[in-house]
Structure 1
Amino acid sequence: MGATDDRSTKELGTDFILQLVLEVKEKLEKEHPSLPIGTNGRDDEDMILWFLKDRKFSVKDSIAKLTKAIRWREEFGVSNLSEESVKGIYETGKAYVHESTDVNGRPVLVVVVSKHFPEKHEAIDDQKLCVYLIEQALAKLPHGIGEILVIVDLRGFCSENADFMFLKFLIDVFYYYYPRRLGQVLFVDAPFIFRPIWTLIVPYLKSYASLVRFCKPETVRNEYFTVDTVPEAFKS
């Protein structure tokens, strides 16, 4: 791609972008025929376009990242995740997809850290819940919206809730498998004890660090939702 890598979608033009999508699609079929097809497969043109945008329209880089993502989805069993398969861990209330979007039309994933106790559950169960909820949030994307809002409620956080490995997993999932899907992350009421953990996390965030905002519950309530759509936990 060379000189075209940094150009915007508008500058490249619809026809040229379509050509790139088809080029990636054809190369994936030729070079990686064993990859699954269909939704989120090697012939999913919407997915291909999203990864092209993430890789600044580099065909080579997009193919590399897409191949890794599609294989991961297959190995992790993303298509097999269901409400029933994550029921036990979901009932802890540690995370959920809010029924309403925020004022910008973005689906909202809420994480209640005070209900997360890594010693009580298998790491893979938390990971499956995480991916399931990301998939559920993305399924709620309105037309024209491509990102979600993540609210990390740190009220009541204690050392028993700390889970660096899960945070690393979450960062990797968004960076490698759901690129450019994270619109913003709100860390709500972060206590002093959270600071050392944040210091450890920052180097892994890469460009996502700029998406993080530390704020108070009233900020969530007043800036991101209407009176009718604010999550119950942030109403007062």
Structure 2
Amino acid sequence: MVLKLYPNYLPSPSIVPIHYNKPTKFRNFCVRNCSSGNLDVDNSRKLVLEVKERLKNEYHDLPVGKKGRDDESMILWFLKDRKFCVDEAVNRLSKAIKWRQEFGVDNLSEDSMKNAIKTGKSSVHDFLDVYGRPVLIVDASKHFPGMQDEDEKLCVFQIEKALSMLPEGQEQILGIIDLRGFGTANADMNFLTFLFDVFYYYYPKRLGQVLMVDAPFLFKPLWQLAKSLLKKHASLVRFCSVQTVREEYFTEETVPALFRDENATQNCPQT
């Protein structure tokens, strides 16, 4: 399986606490030479409607409504991701919507996932980072292979929850993987592949950066394998210390409790 991710584009820093309360040129249906990746409103609207009609005619069995084949905001997002190429957007969107339907994304809820949430494997932080991004935290020491269905569902549930917290003007989330206490029993290449695969195919450009915190030496072989699959997109990943997380991504008031330990390792691992 070949994984593809996109490079990170960070917005201007801001702190927003969250409380759950050349000319445009057409050729083969694609817009070329759009340096900003955007079109004017009229042309964007025309392409959204074109994709919408294509999905209706070619994939009429797909669901409609929010995150369905007629969700214009979702259509626009995938058009931007595919550089406004209608053919590519239709292909990618049809697969994403079908995946959501088969995976049962819309059926995931706090209640249905309550047992998995109690494990503490992952959580969504109550506050944004200093760049205004929702924060998804994974505790790798609590993950064990063999519970694939539960882990994948929990992963997608938390991604959906983090995305629901996006403030106006923000488009990406921050992922933090706490590797303190990580051991060979926690190694799971299949899940790591699933995680990045889901972001590329079904949540394109939603993952702004991934912090690997205090990675032990034994994590290196697993990372080298993952890195070979991710190739240039491995640049999304930054290995750092707990201190870096506290000082560069949060304020004293918003830092996650998991990273408030003053006795945590201070050195940044090398990769």
What TM-score comes out, normalization by structure 2 length?
A: 0.83
Taking the aligned partners of 1:82 and 1:11, their CA distance within structure 2 comes to 34
**Counterpart for residue 18 of structure 1:** 45
- State the Cα distance separating 1:205 from its structure 2 match: 2.2
2:138 and 2:217 map into 1 onto residues whose CA distance is 19
Instruction: For 1:101, give the aligned amino acid.
Output: L
RCO (CA 8 Å, sep 6+): is it higher in 1 or 2? 2
Cross-structure match for 1:222: 247
Rounded Cα–Cα distance in structure 1 between residues aligned with 2:223 and 2:37? 37
Match of 1:139 among 152, 157, 164: 164
Runs of 4+ in 1 over 6 A off after TM superposition: none
Instruction: Report the CA distance between 1:20 and its aligned residue.
Output: 1.0
**1:106 equivalent among 123, 133, 137:** 133
CA contact (8 A) 2:37 2:80 kept: no
Mean Cα displacement is larger for which, 129-138 or 25-34? 25-34
CA distance in 2: counterparts of 1:111 and 1:21, whole angstroms? 35
Aligned: 1:233 with 2:258:
yes
Are 1:196 and 2:196 matched, yes or no? Answer: no
Task: Provide the residue aligned with 2:191 in structure 1.
Answer: 166
User: More helix by proportion, 1 or 2?
Assistant: 1
Q: 1:131 to 1:231 in 2, by over 3 A?
A: same
* Count of aligned positions: 234
- Tell me the secondary structure at the aligned position of residue 18 of structure 1: helix
The Cα shift of 1:206 comes to: 4.7
What percent identity do the matched residue pairs reach?
58
Contact kept? 1:171, 1:204, Cα under 8 Å: no
1:70 paired to 2:105? no
Letter in 2 for 1:12: L
For 1:55 and 1:161, the matched residues in 2 are separated by: 35
Gaps of 5+ in 1: none
Q: Secondary structure at the match of 2:233?
A: helix
Q: What is aligned with 1:209?
A: 234
- Farther-moved stretch of structure 1 (205-214 vs 180-189): 205-214
Which residue matches 2:70?
43
Deviation at 1:172, TM superposition (A): 1.1
